Amino acid sequence: MTNKQRTDLIESFIREHKYADLHTLAARFDGSLSTVRRVLDHLEARGIVRRHHGGASLVENDALAQEYDFLARNQRQPDEKYAIARLIADQVEHGMTVILDGGSTTYTVARLLAQKRLQVITNSLPIAGLFGEIGAADTTVTGGSIYRRLGVLVGPLCEQFFEQTHADLAILGGTGVTEEGIWNHNPLLASGQRKMIAASERTIFGLDNSKFGRRAQTLTSPFAARHTIVTDTRPTATVTRAISASGAKLILAGPEDFIRA
């Protein structure tokens, strides 16, 4: 296959699917990751795609997500967040019912889940918009009032929705992690997350190393046996002991999980 043929095929694929990750493109079009990166660089220079760590999306479909603050924050530690998101996405199986909250790491997970057949429940407008444009998931959006900075729905209507919901898995973020558990900076966000945790058989928290040692306004949840913490750096001994004592699981992204895009 010539470079032009590969470029044309990748362009057609992204135009059809709106988003694609590096591994999918490399496997489908018989190229190395570095070759695919060069093709995406070329397509970005032509204004066709927007590069993300681990993949690329069709430019015209990023407008909604770019309105929210959390994607600006996604530029902080992007490699770590992508490595964490990959490990989380690998735990999601076809046919699952999955709750996804708002935030930059969770949005990265959502992109990696786009081609899986799932029942997705979310209070995130950017994630709902993403699955509305691409992928195979059936998506349900909660009610509630909009928390504009993140584009998420919060409040009594959102919480009532989760009181009547059952899911196999909840995938959540957080603002801080200490030996007490997972923290969030906003009580409404934390309250909604508690309902998501209660509605799910198990919960995965995706948290990069910048969250450890930080206390925010509200403790969302102490660690529990149904929790998995996925991060890129081993936390302090105090936090590690607290996770272990609770029966929660700790998963660390290794060097092989990082893609320098």
Number of domains in the chain: 2
Same domain for 41 and 87, yes or no, is: no
**Looking at residue 179, what is its pLDDT?**
97
**Looking at residue 108, what is its pLDDT?**
86
**Looking at residue 158, what is its pLDDT?**
97
Same domain for 37 and 129, yes or no, is: no
User: CATH no. for residue 111?
Assistant: 3.40.50.1360
Close Cβ partners of 36 (under 8 Å, ≥ 6 residues apart): 10, 22, 25, 26, 29
Same domain for 108 and 173, yes or no, is: yes
Concatenating the DSSP letter of every residue in 127-176 gives HHHHHHHSSS-EEEE---EEETTTTEEESHHHHHHHHT--EEEEEE--SE
**Looking at residue 260, what is its pLDDT?**
39
Same domain for 70 and 55, yes or no, is: no
C-alpha closest to that of 206 among 102, 62, 67, 76: 102
pLDDT tens-digit readout, 20-64: 888 889 989 988 888 998 899 888 867 788 787 678 888 765 544
Domain span including residue 188:
65-257
Same domain for 99 and 55, yes or no, is: no
**Looking at residue 69, what is its pLDDT?**
56
Same domain for 165 and 234, yes or no, is: yes
Same domain for 25 and 154, yes or no, is: no
Same domain for 51 and 70, yes or no, is: no
**Looking at residue 166, what is its pLDDT?**
97
Same domain for 203 and 240, yes or no, is: yes
Residue 117 token pair:
């057949």
Same domain for 123 and 243, yes or no, is: yes
**Looking at residue 34, what is its pLDDT?**
87
- Which residues of the chain fall below pLDDT 50? 63-65, 67, 259-261
